[in-house]
Amino acid sequence: MNSFIDYIPHIIAPELLAQARVFIDSHHKFVITAHISPDGDAIGSVLGMKQYLEAKGKEATVVLNDAPGHNLSFIPGYRSDVIVYDNQNDGTPSQRDEAIRAIQQSDAMICLDFNAVTRMGGMKDLWMSHPAPKLLLDHHLAPEADQFDICISQPKLAATCELIYRFILELGDDHLLNKQIATSLFCGLMTDTGWFIFNSNRPDFHLIMARFMMEDVDRENIIKESQVIPERKLRLLGYLINQKLHIVREHKAAYMSLSLSECRRYGHQKGDSEGYVNEPLNIEGIQVSAFFREEKNFVKVSLRSKGEYPVNLIAEKFFNGGGHRNAAGGEFLGSLQQAEAIFVKVLPLFDKYLQ
């Protein structure tokens, strides 16, 4: 049975895996988190890990700094199975007390899908000051390994959800996989690969997909559900592309910005503008795209690129952020106009990466 999974190479260093095994086996009350403004991989990861630990007979609670956007509602349990520490911005009462209790009562802590503790936002100090041992599973470059007791970092993988399946497999727990776990992990792999485009040529990626399908993951329906958007989101995208898209041909770049007053005009809700940054990359000859969205105290920056173009360097050096080579972001303390001007100004420095 399941012999095809023997073709999935084991990649976690044996000593790390041994430490992780002791970490899981010797604790009972787990608390799990992921990065602020959680995306599909963050939510799929925390839910998949929670469901795996529960299948092992453990107690596991997910605590997030802030609530996932409605764009992730296709992931079963995306709101009902998580406790949100910060204000939820959608009228639901704060779950801060519950979050604090879950953290303080835990005997083991798991961090997923981020490489720097600042990515926990306002929950960072509460989380880091709790003395329970901490395990990190992540696929971003350069993790802050010294902040965690065990750090399992695999930047070549498509998603943290891929790493979690491999973690389960390499611990010898593949038999615990069920439809719920496979569905959560499938959702994160889908979103972090841009619906199976990026980083998905590897045969083992497809073996993992096949393994998920054996648990009856409803691939077709999940993909369809994930494409459903509210009317306001399409109208806002239409407006942005029509009125706000700037092309800088000589540097193969494009950028758009969204102000707070435009957000209000279009009834923008959290998660609505997720993915807009990708749209200009479909334009012939465009290799780098930026999207700037004004928030109350800063500008949220999203960057995407094709090929060798390292947008993570732009995010790190100019926008207090980081990320992957082709998908990065940050928070800029200034105006939208300043953020745009900086982006345009630094483009020539990156011409050497253009194809």
Positions in the binding site for Mn ion (CB under 5 A): 41, 113, 160, 192
Which residue of the chain is nearest ligand 5GP when measured via CB? Answer: 329
Residue 290 to residue 311: CA distance in whole angstroms: 9
Among 321, 339, 350, 353, indicate the residue that binds ligand 5GP (CB under 6 A). 321
Q: Which of 60, 236, 323, 343 binds ligand 5GP (CB under 6 A)?
A: 323
Measured from the CB atom, is 140 or 251 closer to ligand 5GP? 140
Max intra-chain CA distance, the chain: 59
Q: What share of the chain is helix, strand, coil (3-state, %, to 5)?
A: 45, 15, 35
Joined tokens for residue 160: 């943290």
Interaction of residue 273 with ligand 5GP, rule CB under 6 A = no
Closest distance between Mn ion and the C-beta of residue 188, in Å? 7
Q: Would you count residue 327 as binding ligand 5GP (CB under 6 A)? A: yes
Return the DSSP state at 279.
G
Check residue 109 and give left, alpha or beta (phi > 0: left; psi -120 to 50: alpha). Answer: beta
**Minimum separation from the CB atom of position 27 to Mn ion (A):** 25
- Minimum distance of ligand 5GP from residue 139's CB (angstroms): 9
The answer to whether residues 163 and 139 touch, using CB atoms and an 8 Å cutoff, is yes
How many residues belong to the site for ligand 5GP (CB under 6 A)? 14
Our finding on whether 116 is near ligand 5GP (CB under 6 A) is: yes
Dist. CA 59–CA 28, nearest whole Å:
6
Choose the stretch contacting ligand 5GP; rule: CB under 6 A; options: 171-179, 183-191, 215-223, 323-331: 323-331
Out of 157, 240, 328, 354, the residue judged to bind ligand 5GP by CB under 6 A? 328
Which H helix or E strand runs over 221?
helix 219-226
Would you give the binding string for ligand 5GP spanning residues 119-138, x where CB under 6 A is met? x-------------------
Taking the C-alpha atoms of residue 260 and residue 104, their distance in angstroms, rounded to an integer, is 37
What pairing do the DSSP bridges indicate for beta strands 327-332 and 253-258? unpaired
Strand partners, 83: 63
**Shortest distance, position 173 Cβ to ligand 5GP, whole Å:** 27
CA distance 316 to 303: 11
Nearer to ligand 5GP (CB atom), residue 50 or residue 140:
140
Which partner, ligand 5GP, Mn ion, none, binds residue 68 by CB below 5 to 8 Å per kind? Answer: none
What residues from 297 to 316 belong to the interface with ligand 5GP (CB under 6 A)? 302
Q: Which 36-65 positions form the footprint of ligand 5GP (CB under 6 A)?
A: 39
Q: Quick one: which of 151, 330, 347, 353 contacts ligand 5GP (CB under 6 A)?
A: 330
Do the beta carbons of residue 287 and residue 354 sit within 8 Å?
yes
Distance CA 188, CA 186 (A): 6
**Cα 84 from Cα 94, distance rounded (Å):** 7
Interacting residues toward ligand 5GP by CB under 6 A: 39, 116, 119, 140, 302, 321-324, 327-331
